[in-house]
């Protein structure tokens, strides 16, 4: 992974910042001309751009990362005139819509997890391949950084976080190593943290999946409370759909996907109101994964409101 700079614009960069499963999302949402849509995780605006190009009358673009809104405004160009930019958390969707007098929408897309822009920016502290501050906040206006949390957490709690949110089988060993490194004053940046985790988890960077991956995922979810309220968000997003409207959700790890799958199944039990469009999750093809290795874990599920 290279450190991005303002002058870099290569094919690989474009692939990393393009939305995953973009064509599949557009096809399954089937935008209505003049319809109202919500992009709950705006990022660089990739899904929103396609919705506007397909004829959407309005896209409400939400992101908890204020810097992403600035990037999207610039990237969307003329298409930005059809977008309402909102700095908020998608879990506040009902309030966001109410503030704009919107009661129902024709479609909602949520691309969960951390964006490529955030990972590639070492200063955000998400990457285990670059040295950066121990931050990991998606919303920089948030209170606690990763450094703040690691400064006070005990070993047992940390092991639980790493196991629950990262499904790391060596969670106790990794937590013990992190706490010891903290007490020695060795956790100076993300590179130092990644080194500690790799040694504790075993394996090496030559593996297909870096040994630090699961722990960094767990810490990110912990700092941003990513799973808190996900089920409630899915229910509220489904409820604001107009008849025939669809909710498309892309998950990147099993914890998120499990919540999406079970919530959709529970809603679809009421057959008069909901139906699952994707009986099995849609996954990226080999070509997309070749262009963008980060796409390999993506799972897309779609729910439709019948009435």
| 151-174 pLDDT per residue, tens | 999 999 999 999 999 999 999 999
* More confident site: 204 or 160: 160
**Count of CB atoms within 10 A of residue 98's CB?**
12
Structure tokens at 14: 């474009």
282 secondary structure, DSSP code: B
How high does pLDDT run on average in the chain?
91
| Chain segment 87-128, per-residue pLDDT in tens | 999 999 999 999 999 999 999 999 997 777 788 888 899 999
Which residues share a beta bridge with 38?
Answer: 60, 108
Give Cα separations from 8 to 70, 118, 127, 160 (angstroms). 18, 16, 19, 40
Shortest CA distance to 97 belongs to which of 249, 239, 301, 272?
A: 239
Q: Rounded CA gap, 223 and 50, in Å?
A: 31
Q: Exposure pattern of 248-274 as b/e (b: 16+ CB <10 Å)? A: bbbbbbebbbebbbebbeebbeeeebb
Shortest CA distance to 256 belongs to which of 179, 150, 164?
A: 164
Q: Rounded CA gap, 145 and 65, in Å?
A: 14
Contacts of 33 (CB under 8 A, 6+ apart): 55, 57
Residue 51 has pLDDT above 60, yes or no: yes
Contacts of 293 (CB under 8 A, 6+ apart): none
Which domains occur in the chain, in start order?
A: 11-113+227-305 (3.40.50.150), 140-224 (1.10.150.170)
Residue 16 has pLDDT above 80, yes or no: no
How confident is the model at residue 207, as a pLDDT?
Answer: 62
Shortest CA distance to 250 belongs to which of 261, 239, 236?
A: 261
Q: Rounded CA gap, 26 and 109, in Å?
A: 10
Sheet holding 36-39, edge to edge: 83-87, 58-63, 36-39, 105-111, 241-251, 299-305, 274-276
298 secondary structure, DSSP code: -
Structure tokens at 54: 């397909």
Residue 45 has pLDDT above 70, yes or no: yes
* More confident site: 141 or 303: 303
């Amino acid at each position: 992974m290279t450190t991005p700079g303002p002058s870099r614009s290569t094919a690989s960069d474009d692939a990393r910042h393009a939305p995953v499963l973009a064509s599949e999302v557009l096809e399954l949402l089937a935008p209505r001309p003049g319809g109202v849509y919500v992009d709950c995780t705006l990022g660089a605006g990739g899904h929103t751009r396609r919705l506007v190009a397909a004829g959407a009358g309005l896209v409400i673009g939400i992101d908890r990362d204020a810097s992403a809104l600035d990037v999207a405004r610039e990237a969307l160009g003329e298409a930005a005139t059809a977008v309402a930019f909102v700095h908020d958390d998608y879990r506040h969707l009902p309030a966001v819509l109410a503030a704009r007098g919107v009661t129902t929408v024709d479609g909602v897309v949520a691309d969960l997890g951390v964006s490529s822009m955030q990972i590639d920016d070492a200063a955000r502290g998400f990457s285990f391949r670059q040295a950066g501050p121990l931050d990991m906040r998606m919303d920089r206006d948030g209170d606690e950084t990763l450094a703040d949390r690691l400064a006070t957490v005990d070993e047992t709690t940390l092991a639980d976080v790493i196991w629950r949110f990262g499904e790391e089988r060596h969670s106790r060993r990794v937590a013990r190593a992190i706490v010891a490194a903290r007490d020695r004053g060795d956790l100076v940046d993300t590179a130092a943290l990644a080194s500690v985790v790799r040694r504790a988890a075993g394996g090496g960077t030559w593996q297909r999946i870096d040994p630090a991956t699961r722990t960094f995922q767990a810490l990110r979810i912990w700092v941003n409370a990513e799973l808190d309220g996900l089920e409630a968000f899915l229910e509220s997003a489904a409820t604001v759909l107009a008849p025939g409207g669809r909710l498309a959700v892309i998950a990147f790890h099993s914890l998120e996907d499990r919540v999406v799958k079970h919530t959709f199944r529970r809603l679809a039990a009421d057959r008069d109101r909901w139906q699952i469009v994707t009986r099995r999750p849609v996954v990226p093809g080999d070509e997309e994964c070749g262009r963008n290795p980060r796409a390999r874990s993506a799972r897309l599920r779609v729910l439709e409101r019948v009435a």
